[in-house]
């Protein structure tokens, strides 16, 4: 994360990068973004968010690929299986 947090362009870039890296493994990115990142993506807020909360399929693979990110932002991870909205987690970007 940048010192000022994730902005809209950061989130879009990170998700595009994650999707591209998953595609090289033959894994489709099936993700539901929630929280501040979702509000930014829908244009409902115009401020940075401190993390990207998400629910996603293929959790082990997504998290492994996300940890090998090319970005210098620290990880913020709360790992739990994404079975319901109550178990959303920070995307480790």
Tens-place pLDDT, residues 50-65: 888 888 888 888 888 8
* Per-residue pLDDT at 42: 94
In a domain, 1, yes or no: no
Q: pLDDT category, 72, cuts 50, 70, 90?
A: low
How far, in Å, CA of 74 to CA of 59, rounded?
19
HEC assignment per residue over the chain: CCCCCECHHHHHHHHHHHHHHHHCCCCCCCEEEEHHHHHHHCCCCCCCECCCEEEECCHHHHHHHHHCCCCCCCCCCCCCCCCCHHHCEECCC
User: Global pTM?
Assistant: 0.73
Q: How many domains does the chain have?
A: 1
Residue range(s) defining the domain that contains residue 17? 8-90
In a domain, 2, yes or no: no
Query: If you average pLDDT over residues 82-91, what whole number do you get?
Result: 52
């Amino acid at each position: 994360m940048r010192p000022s947090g994730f902005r809209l362009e950061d989130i879009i870039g990170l998700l595009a990068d994650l999707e591209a890296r998953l595609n090289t493994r033959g894994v489709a990115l099936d993700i539901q973004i929630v929280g501040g990142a979702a509000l930014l993506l829908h244009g409902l807020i115009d401020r940075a968010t401190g993390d990207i909360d998400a629910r996603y399929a293929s959790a082990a693979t997504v998290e492994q690929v996300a940890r090998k990110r090319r970005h210098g932002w620290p990880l913020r991870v709360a790992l739990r299986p994404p079975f319901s909205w109550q178990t959303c987690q920070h995307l480790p970007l």
